[in-house]
């Protein structure tokens, strides 16, 4: 009987495997190779944090700086201030985390390529500062006589035991981060990478999440640095300088930043290639060291051009993909409709006198309408009429230059991420799904705000109940759009029509009382459109208010209660579909004069 | 002036299939318009012919020569020139530089063509040293058209030149297009404003969600009730789907 | 006061050189969106070529470059998609290119000690390396993300660095200054070398400016940087634009290497630090707008010079620590846009 394992179990197994192999090697390797083993372990630890950072869409071009802060921090506290070594190690980690908190907060607003440049500056300034503050740090030559690490009764002064500790931590980090990817916060990080706007729309506080991830990545680097100090019993600035940062990046990208195990693979690959080149080129062929550098560079270029996703992307098909078990049919309880109280609000969303100008161009002027519960309102108009702008203003993505938007009588919240809690959900004109997650995980994103499990819970597996409830909701939504068969398919493989319906499913998982759909029918086949119309009517029946922007007249005419027609940024006509269709002004607007 | 033939063209973005087995013909010196509501795929079609999107299957033939799969720069060299919907001008460069860049592949005749473009659009001559981003919408559209003409096109394609323009400027531009057609240029015009387009064109096609649903000389197309149906709906039957939502 | 002026002159001189490197980085980045970590290596290659040619050695880089170009010609001729006329044109232009590189290096070799021929040969050969690198490391993966292309450029750095060591060894080579002595300008004494560097750098920047703003080819490169789709619709070939931008970048970096060589001796490690400073300058000034980048590098050079004098240990630190506040200030003034490529 075949028994397939889930990807969380695979992560656990892989982590155990890594640890066991490393521990075995730590036991038998001669001293020179033992040092290499530890070096690879330290690199892998820092690289796995960097991989986490990259997977959230951020960059750190000077990451070794945080290793340096961790290393020097632990070393100085242990050697010069008598801190017990485990405390010193943790303090080093805290110092690195704190530095990242400061840097991350200060550079929060930097846009475009300024942010990577700032991280580069940190990566250069830190080792330079370490050299400069020579009275404390011993300058460019560093210092030694760092005491041995001793955790309680365990004496870890022997190099072998320290090597085992290092790889234990690598296994925990890699395994934990891999499991994290399949948890609520892991999905949030993937969403952040895919589209910051979409992440906010499902309720993720993106600035806070970005900063947290950055701090964690720095903390892991700090831990790696601290372990370096306690293993080599000597620190100097050069292992934490810019070339070291570049090395970390190489390990990460070559291995594959998509998975923490990729980063571990990368660290191993870099070392393996170096050893191989030294052995073959230098020893056997007697070629000078420069040839190694050339060959390494060539290998790096070749591998990345062939597999831009790194070594991991070439091996990923052997890794089990995410699957979520479908709950029993009679499990019930997963309701996706607004509560009874919400079902009778006539003016849930109100736009009054909305105007918008961009520079000198008046895109919208005096647009007024409202959407209430149990009705579907369509916003239509020819190309350039201002529908998208109006829609963005209604959902808080853009601010109007005149007029107001009210949701249930109150102004729209300041932060986009607060909208979903108020019961507002929307889809996008250009579908924004997370391409590397499966369909069911994408749908589960919609339930982000209904959960509360943090990162640790995700890694340790303490979120089982909450995940079960989340996925029950997701399955229900997927059932409503009739795409249950696609649950395990990666979102990147969907057709446009399927992707749109998945986005609708994600929207309804949050149990919205107001649903805003931006051209949901674009790219749909007739059968999918029929499904969509049926779905919208079911939602209407259960009390949801729906605002839909569409070009497909057939679809719109058949599912809305009333229409608002815009032309050249102004209200042109409104009424029932039949009224609007017969209106000569509307006909003129569409067909021209 | 050449003839454009599209044979069973299929293309799309990424995984989405937007145009499915579409065939059409533009005879030498004709002005053919493709009409249809937004989202029908008209822009995608033009982008495919211009080489910006790969054609998955089918052929693009210009006077019998197979142009399928050529990159945009080689298509421009062969006289297939597109004026895109978003104009894609070089905002921080001057009007004259924008025009000269349009003549990149026709360096020999560039100076003469420039004079011609200035005579067609006197306002561009007036503003020749100004930065393109400072021009009004209508002037930018004229610049986009002028830039396309600098490439000495044999087949000129225009993607919704009237969008966002005041009616008066729109008429000026369409007058120029009409003049070009009278001089014998083969033109493919995509428009949302059906009446305006049909008043200029010899023939028209109507597109709906990636397929051609109607075709004919402009005179008969203008009064065809199926034309307004394409814009204002009426083709698919949603009755059953609607009813099912209210059962149970 | 005298010291301050002296430091200012020193700062301006180094700033001018970093400025050329910054400009190279900017041209490459704006046209191809590649953050070229290997840019400094062209500085080193230019300097070493110059030094060795002056010493009477036949340009070691010449044969590898000619060989690579020839290999590309063969590959292009075997391409089924191009027509015969296009292939003949290709063969003619490439042959002329290869012949040119060989000829100029031969001429420089034969007239040992000719400053100008050596300079021309070094710049021409190093510049020819640019399109080769682009073809090998950028064109094969048009959809790779920027960070992957960055790491690929690190790979290029390694290849170039190792190759340089194999071709020239690791010993520094000295280069005689263009003229000895100097002149007193007011209270400060300025060497002819410094004057030369400043003047030539300025000339190079002016040439680059004229090229970008006044020639159709330069404007075409700008066009690709501003709006790639628009450029394609004008018939501008984007692949060629990428190769040209790499060539121009390599040329200017090599030229700055030539200018630096008499000051710091041509050495194998010079690329990294100079490249980094050019990078900082470009960042401070604006990696996309090169007039302001020049202010940026001027700043770098001057601060560096002053800081070196007053607190040498903290010199570099001050320069790099200033990057973040300056970035924050520039971000507030005018945040960089996403040039969607």
Residues of B in contact with C290 (CB under 8 A): none
- CB of A421 within 8 Å of a chain B CB? The answer is no
Selection from A235, A18, A240 nearest residue A128 by Cα: A240
Alpha helix stretches (DSSP H) within A236-383: 242-255, 260-277, 289-306, 310-315
* Structural domain range at position C231: 2-333
> What angle in degrees, to the nearest 10, is found between the helix axes of B110-120 and B95-102?
130
B232 to A531: CB separation less than 8 angstroms, yes or no: no
B245 to A538: CB separation less than 8 angstroms, yes or no: yes
Nearest chain C Cα distance for residue B132, angstroms: 12
Q: List pLDDT tens digits, range A239-251.
A: 999 899 999 999 9
Q: Is residue C300 part of a domain?
A: yes
Q: Residue C341 — pLDDT band, cuts 50, 70, 90?
A: very low
pLDDT score for C285? 62
Q: Domain coordinates of chain A in residue numbers?
A: 7-242, 371-386+421-591
Number of helices (H), then strands (E), in chain C: 13, 2
Q: Can you tell me the mean pLDDT for A220-231? A: 96
Nearest-CB residue to A298 (from C147, C159, C313):
C159
Nearest-CB residue to C233 (from B76, B91, B92):
B76
Work out the end-to-end distance of chain B between its first and last CA atoms, rounded to an integer number of angstroms: 64
Residues of B in contact with C236 (CB under 8 A): 73, 101, 104
The CATH H-level superfamily of A371-386+421-591 is P-loop containing nucleotide triphosphate hydrolases (3.40.50.300)
- CB of C179 within 8 Å of a chain A CB? The answer is no
pLDDT score for A359? 74
Q: Is residue C338 part of a domain?
A: no
* Mutation site for C-interface testing, chosen from A53, A102, A107, A124 by largest number of C Cβ within 10 Å: A124
A523 to B246: CB separation less than 8 angstroms, yes or no: no
pLDDT score for C339? 43
* Mutation site for B-interface testing, chosen from C85, C228, C233, C334 by largest number of B Cβ within 10 Å: C233
Selection from C243, C228, C235, C222 nearest residue C72 by Cα: C243
Interface of C with B (CB under 8 A): 216, 219-220, 222-223, 226-227, 229-238
Nearest-CB residue to A496 (from B16, B233, B234):
B16
pLDDT score for C340? 36
* Number of Cβ within a 10 Å radius of residue B23: 12
Q: Is residue C96 part of a domain?
A: yes
Nearest-CB residue to A294 (from C158, C332, C338):
C158
pLDDT higher than 50, residue C196? yes
Q: Is residue C159 part of a domain?
A: yes
Alpha carbon distance A237, A60 (integer Å): 19
Lowest-pLDDT choice from A312-321, A484-493, C158-167: A312-321
What are the angstrom distances between the C-alpha of A435 and each of A258, A520, B13, B243, C46?
Answer: 12, 19, 15, 35, 45
Q: Is residue C341 part of a domain?
A: no
Portion 130-149 of B in contact with A at CB < 8 A: 137
Selection from C157, C159, C150 nearest residue C34 by Cα: C150
Selection from A253, A358, A251 nearest residue A310 by Cα: A253
What's the structural domain count of chain C? 1
Residue B168 or residue A186, greater confidence: A186
pLDDT score for A1? 35
**Closest-CA residue in chain C for A290?**
C162
Residues of A in contact with B137 (CB under 8 A): 361
Structure tokens of A354?
A: 């909305």
3-state class (DSSP) for residue A575: strand
The whole-model pTM stands at 0.88
pLDDT score for A284? 80
Rounded mean pLDDT of chain C? 83
Selection from A200, A205, A202, A217 nearest residue A252 by Cα: A217
Q: Could you give the strand order of the β-sheet that contains A376-380, starting from the edge strand earlier in sequence?
A: A424-426, A514-518, A545-549, A376-380, A562-567, A570-575
Portion 30-69 of B in contact with A at CB < 8 A: 37-39
A290 to C158: CB separation less than 8 angstroms, yes or no: no
3-state class (DSSP) for residue A466: helix
- CB of C320 within 8 Å of a chain A CB? The answer is yes
pLDDT score for C160? 95
Selection from C219, C289, C211 nearest residue B132 by Cα: C219
Angle A236-A239-A245 (CA atoms, 0-180°, nearest 5)? Answer: 140
Nearest chain A Cα distance for residue C284, angstroms: 9
Structural element, H or E, at residue A354: strand A349-358
pLDDT score for B124? 93
Q: Is residue C340 part of a domain?
A: no
C234 to B51: CB separation less than 8 angstroms, yes or no: no
Alpha carbon distance B18, B211 (integer Å): 9
Residues of B in contact with C230 (CB under 8 A): 88-90
Residue A67 or residue A309, greater confidence: A67
* Number of Cβ within a 10 Å radius of residue C3: 10
- CB of A197 within 8 Å of a chain B CB? The answer is no
- CB of B228 within 8 Å of a chain A CB? The answer is yes
pLDDT higher than 50, residue A361? yes
Work out the end-to-end distance of chain A between its first and last CA atoms, rounded to an integer number of angstroms: 71
Nearest-CB residue to C313 (from A109, A131, A291):
A131
A592 to B244: CB separation less than 8 angstroms, yes or no: no
Q: A36-45, A153-162, A273-282, A527-536 — which one is most confidently predicted on average?
A: A36-45
Alpha carbon distance A201, A479 (integer Å): 22
Q: Is residue C254 part of a domain?
A: yes
Q: Can you tell me the mean pLDDT for A95-101? A: 97
Q: Is residue C314 part of a domain?
A: yes
Nearest chain B Cα distance for residue C231, angstroms: 8
């Amino acid at each position: 009987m075949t028994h397939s394992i889930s990807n969380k179990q695979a992560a656990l197994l892989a982590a155990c495997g890594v640890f066991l192999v490393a521990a075995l090697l730590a036991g038998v390797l001669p001293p020179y190779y033992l040092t290499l083993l530890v070096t690879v372990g330290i690199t892998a630890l820092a690289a796995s944090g960097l991989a986490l950072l990259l997977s959230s869409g951020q960059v750190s071009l000077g990451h070794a700086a945080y290793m340096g802060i961790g290393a020097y921090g632990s070393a100085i506290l242990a050697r010069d201030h008598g801190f017990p070594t485990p405390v010193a190690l943790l303090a080093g980690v805290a110092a690195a985390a704190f530095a990242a908190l400061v840097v991350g907060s200060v550079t929060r607003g930097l846009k475009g390529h300024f942010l990577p440049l700032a991280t580069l500056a940190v990566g250069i300034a830190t080792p330079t500062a370490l050299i400069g503050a020579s009275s404390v740090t011993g300058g460019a030559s560093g210092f030694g006589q760092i005491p041995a690490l001793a955790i309680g009764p365990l004496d870890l002064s022997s190099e072998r035991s320290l090597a085992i500790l290092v790889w234990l931590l690598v296994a925990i980090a890699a395994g934990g981060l891999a499991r994290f990817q399949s948890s609520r916060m892991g999905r949030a990080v993937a969403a952040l990478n895919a589209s910051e706007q979409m992440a906010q729309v499902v309720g993720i506080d993106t600035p806070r999440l970005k900063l947290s991830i950055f701090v964690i990545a720095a903390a892991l680097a700090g831990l790696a640095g601290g372990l370096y100090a306690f293993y080599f019993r000597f620190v100097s600035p050069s292992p934490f300088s810019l070339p070291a940062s570049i090395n970390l990046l190489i390990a990460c990208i070559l291995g594959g930043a998509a998975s923490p195990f990729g980063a571990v693979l990368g660290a191993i690959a870099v070392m393996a290639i170096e050893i191989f080149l030294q052995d073959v080129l230098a020893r056997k062929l007697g070629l000078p060291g420069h040839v190694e550098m050339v060959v390494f560079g060539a290998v790096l270029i070749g591998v990345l051009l062939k597999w831009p996703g790194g070594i991991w992307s070439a091996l990923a098909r052997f890794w089990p993909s995410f699957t979520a078990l479908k709950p029993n049919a009679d499990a019930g309880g997963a309701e996706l409709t607004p509560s009874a109280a919400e079902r009778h609000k006539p003016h849930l969303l109100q736009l009054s006198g909305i105007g918008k100008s961009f520079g000198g161009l008046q895109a919208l002027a005096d647009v007024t309408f409202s959407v209430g519960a149990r009705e579907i309102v369509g916003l239509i108009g020819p190309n350039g009429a201002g529908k998208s702008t109006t829609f963005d203003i209604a959902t808080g993505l853009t601010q109007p230059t005149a007029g107001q938007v009210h949701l249930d009588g109150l102004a729209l919240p300041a932060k986009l991420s607060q909208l979903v809690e108020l019961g507002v959900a929307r889809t996008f004109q250009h579908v924004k799904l997370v391409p590397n997650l499966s369909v069911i995980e994408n749908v589960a994103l919609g339930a982000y705000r209904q959960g509360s499990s943090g990162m640790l819970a995700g890694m340790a597996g303490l979120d089982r109940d909450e995940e079960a409830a989340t996925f029950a909701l997701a399955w229900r939504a997927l059932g409503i759009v009739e795409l249950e068969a696609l649950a395990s398919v990666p979102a990147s493989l969907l057709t446009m029509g399927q992707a749109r319906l998945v986005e609708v499913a994600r929207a309804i998982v949050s149990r919205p009382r107001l649903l805003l759909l931006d051209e949901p029918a674009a790219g749909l086949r007739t059968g999918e459109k029929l499904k969509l119309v049926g779905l919208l009517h079911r939602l209407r029946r259960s009390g949801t208010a729906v605002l839909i922007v569409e070009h497909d007249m057939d679809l719109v005419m058949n599912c809305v209660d009333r229409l608002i027609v815009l032309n050249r940024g102004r209200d042109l006509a409104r009424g029932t579909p039949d009224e609007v269709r017969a209106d000569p002004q509307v006909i003129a607007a569409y067909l021209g004069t | 002036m050449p003839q454009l033939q599209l044979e069973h063209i299929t293309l799309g973005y990424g995984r989405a299939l937007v145009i499915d087995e579409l065939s059409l013909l533009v005879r030498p010196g004709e002005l053919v318009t493709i009409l249809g509501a937004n989202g029908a795929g008209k822009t995608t079609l033009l982008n495919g012919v211009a080489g910006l999107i790969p054609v998955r299957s089918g052929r693009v033939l210009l006077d019998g020569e197979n142009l399928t799969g050529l990159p945009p720069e080689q298509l421009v060299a062969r006289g297939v020139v597109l004026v895109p919907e978003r104009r894609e001008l070089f905002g921080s460069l001057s009007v004259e530089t924008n025009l000269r860049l349009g003549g990149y592949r026709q360096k020999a005749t560039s100076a003469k063509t420039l004079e011609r473009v200035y005579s067609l659009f006197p306002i561009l001559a007036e503003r020749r040293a100004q930065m393109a981003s400072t021009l009004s919408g209508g002037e930018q559209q004229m610049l986009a058209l002028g830039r396309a003409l600098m490439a000495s096109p044999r087949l000129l394609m225009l993607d919704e030149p009237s969008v966002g323009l005041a009616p008066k400027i729109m008429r000026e531009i369409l007058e120029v297009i009409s003049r070009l057609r009278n001089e014998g240029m083969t033109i493919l015009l995509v428009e949302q404003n059906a009446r305006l387009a049909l008043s200029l064109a010899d023939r028209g096609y109507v597109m709906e969600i990636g397929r051609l649903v109607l075709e004919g000389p402009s005179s008969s197309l203008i009064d065809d009730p199926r034309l307004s149906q394409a814009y204002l709906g009426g083709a698919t039957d949603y009755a059953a789907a609607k009813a099912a939502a209210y059962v149970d | 006061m005298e010291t301050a002026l002296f430091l200012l002159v020193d700062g301006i001189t180094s700033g001018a050189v970093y400025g050329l490197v910054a400009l190279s980085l900017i041209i490459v980045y704006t046209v191809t969106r590649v953050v070229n970590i290997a840019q400094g290596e062209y500085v080193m290659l230019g300097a070493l070529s110059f030094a060795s040619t002056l010493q009477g050695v036949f340009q070691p880089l010449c044969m590898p470059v000619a060989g690579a170009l020839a290999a590309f010609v063969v590959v292009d001729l075997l391409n089924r998609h191009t027509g015969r006329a296009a292939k003949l044109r290709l063969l003619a232009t490439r042959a002329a290119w290869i012949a040119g590189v060989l000829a100029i290096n031969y001429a420089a070799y034969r007239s040992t000690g000719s400053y100008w021929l050596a300079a021309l040969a070094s710049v021409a050969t190093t510049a020819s390396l640019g399109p080769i690198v682009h073809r090998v490391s950028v064109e094969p993966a048009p959809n790779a993300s920027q960070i992957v292309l960055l790491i690929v450029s690190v790979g290029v750095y390694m290849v170039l660095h190792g190759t340089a060591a194999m071709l020239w060894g690791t010993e520094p080579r000295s280069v005689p200054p263009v003229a000895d002595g100097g002149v007193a300008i007011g209270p400060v004494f300025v060497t002819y070398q410094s004057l030369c560097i400043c003047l030539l750098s300025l000339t190079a920047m002016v040439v680059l400016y004229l090229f970008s703003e006044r020639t159709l080819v330069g404007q075409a490169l700008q066009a690709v940087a501003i709006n790639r789709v628009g450029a394609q619709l004008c018939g501008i070939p984007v692949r060629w634009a990428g190769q040209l931008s790499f060539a121009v970048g390599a040329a200017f970096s090599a030229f700055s290497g030539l200018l630096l060589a008499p000051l710091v001796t041509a050495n194998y490690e010079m690329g990294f630090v100079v490249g980094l400073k050019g990078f900082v300058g470009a960042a401070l000034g604006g990696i996309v707008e090169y007039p302001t980048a020049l202010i940026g590098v001027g700043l770098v050079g001057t601060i560096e010079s002053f800081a070196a004098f007053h607190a040498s240990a903290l010199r570099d630190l001050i320069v790099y620590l200033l990057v973040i506040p300056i970035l924050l200030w520039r971000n507030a003034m005018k945040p960089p846009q996403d040039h969607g490529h």
